[in-house]
Amino acid sequence: MLELCPASPELRAEIDEKQTKVNGTNAQIVFKNTSVIKVVTASDSSRGNRCNVLLLDEYRLISKDTIDTVLRKFLTLRRMPRYSELTDEERKREYAKEKNLTMYLSSAYFKDHWSYIKCVDTFKAMMDDKRRQFVCGFPYQLSIEEGLLDPETVADEMSEADFSDIKWSMEMCAEFYGSVDGAFYDYDSIAKNRHIKYPMLPDRLASKLGNSPLVRIRPKLPGEIRILSADIALMSSSKNNNDATAILVNLLTPTKSGRYVSNIVYPESYEGLRTDNQALIIRKLFDEYECDYIVLDTNGMKMPTHIVIYENAVRKMRESLMCYKYANPS
């Protein structure tokens, strides 16, 4: 009504403006041939509506249960145009076989989401000549080619410091994100265990995000245990003098049953660092997160395979050792 009608007198002539309403409670476009475009909310409150073409915009944001039990039930009644009253012989013609349609529109998302499975299933159906389904993606390059998107705006957005390749590939490149086939750790098994909305970042990183309380290291809760674990790497790689060292901060929250819920609140990795520099980083994170234990995998340091655990009670005694320049790792 605001964009297409002003530019098309033919379209305006087909719309019944008296019955057409576009407001917060009722949005529908009524045509003079009795066709209607109606907008409803994707919830249980929309039960009882009927349609011949169901358009689900941003369908990945809609619950699959709502789609299956509410929205797709709109299509129970097939369209019955006047030519359906033709004789049996005339009904056999192709134009009398008109089916209801469902259209799914959305940006891409993670591969563990049901929206990706829907795309894959539709693709398989599209390859079957006996079925009539279709799937396609429209990346941002198409918008640039058609003059709908400014290339300079795209370049500016991609050059920003907080630019996310993953979000860009999903939102603008029509690419679902997830692990490749055969990956040792597949995305599905990891994603289902992700429950933390915000990490606990050290001060040097939290300050770059405006020191938001959502990402700062919070005070310890009663009975809470924090463990810093480090996998020290000294092997050579093609890029640096040693492989990547991985550091994790694990936050253990006690439950009423006497068990603990384990949450990895901060991961970090380094390449090309000497052991003395790694020791200083580990020591700083240990104090900053008020950790109770530190666990070191020393196998990569050509030491016997074992785990060294330092308790918080004796960490003051170890302070000089942890910060000391390791001339002898033992």
Region of poorest pLDDT, from 38-47, 238-247, 254-263, 278-287: 238-247
The arithmetic mean of pLDDT across residues 213-231, rounded, is 91
For residue 61, pLDDT beyond 70: yes
Backbone φ, ψ for residue 226 (5° rounding):
-120, 130
Q: Residues near 272 by Cβ (< 8 Å), separated by ≥ 6?
A: 239, 240, 241, 242
For residue 298, pLDDT beyond 50: yes
The arithmetic mean of pLDDT across residues 211-238, rounded, is 85
pLDDT of residue 89: 66
pLDDT of residue 83: 62
CA angle, 11 as apex, 76 and 103 as ends, to 5°?
30
Q: How far apart are the first and last CA of the chain?
A: 77
pLDDT of residue 241: 59
pLDDT of residue 37: 94
* Residues 9/34, Cβ–Cβ less than 8 Å: no
pLDDT tens digits for 153-191? 999 999 887 788 889 999 999 999 887 766 677 777 777
Q: How confident is the model at residue 98 (pLDDT cuts 50, 70, 90)?
A: confident
Nearest residue to 15 via CA among 38, 33, 42, 2: 33
Q: What is the per-residue DSSP string for 141-161?
A: HHHHHTTSS-HHHHHHHHTST
Region of poorest pLDDT, from 114-128, 151-165, 288-302: 288-302
Nearest residue to 178 via CA among 187, 169, 170: 187
Region of poorest pLDDT, from 63-77, 123-137, 215-229, 234-248: 234-248
* Residues 106/60, Cβ–Cβ less than 8 Å: yes
Q: Which amino acid is at 312?
A: N
State the average pLDDT for the chain. 83
Domain ranges of the chain: 200-323
> Cα–Cα distance between 294 and 182 in angstroms, integer?
33
Burial of 71 per CB tally in 10 Å (0-12, 13-18, 19+): buried
Backbone φ, ψ for residue 248 (5° rounding):
-130, 145
The Cα-based distances of 315 to 110, 229, 318, 326, 327 in angstroms read 42, 15, 5, 17, 20
- Cβ neighbours around 200 below 10 Å, total: 20
pLDDT tens digits for 30-52? 999 889 999 999 999 899 899 99
